Amino acid sequence: MFSGENPGFSAGAHAVLNKDSELGRGGFGAVYKTVLCDGRPVAIKKLTVSSLVKSQEDFEREVKKLGKLHHPNLVTLEGYYWTPSLQLLIYEYVSGQQIQSALGYMAPEFACRTVKVTEKCDVYGFGVLVLEVVTGKRPVEYMEDDVVMLCDTLPPDEAVPIMKLGLICTSQVPSTRPEMSEVVNILEMIRSPQDSSQGEELG
């Protein structure tokens, strides 16, 4: 695994991080495709959750742990790049929409494991799925300036609370995401508001 610390790599990295080479975006940042000088295609993940990266030492320690993970279902981490203003993870490039689409469901804390990964990561992925169902758009299809139209198959009295639930589940701060048991209760209330109100009256 290489670190990409030389000035040439830095200049090249800034050159390829543009809209033309962008593959998609997720909660942790954008992913770009480029080709290394030896001809290998790679996917570069530009992190936008720099608040999770406490120092270069922490970043490098956690990245090297990721570099030791090998599995047929995992994309190989080829290298990394770190400066106070720019952090990159360099992965082998795997073509196909399945890999690109999966990026959007990953919680931001997956980008740097100095933050403990918990069940709240699953809550984040569920929230992304909820928003995908309501908007009809996949998580890596949107850009920041896009106007999102809600699917017209959902009644407004259901679409709005479901959208709010999805947004709460995808909070950038893990501790502010609800527990899945709370999510289930909220969904039950949205599905059967009359039953919920009757239950409250009986209680």
Which residues are annotated binding-site positions? 46
Task: Look up residue 28 and give its two tokens.
Answer: 């942790």
* C-alpha to C-alpha distance for 195 and 98, rounded to whole angstroms: 40
Quick one: tokens of 19? 């809209």
Residues contributing to the annotated binding site for ATP: 46
SS3 87: strand
Measuring CA to CA, which residue among 82, 24, 32 is closest to residue 53? 82
145: its two tokens: 């300036």
- CB within 8 Å of 163: residues ≥ 6 apart: 130, 131, 134, 150
Spatial separation of the C-alpha atoms in residues 46 and 24, rounded to whole Å? 11
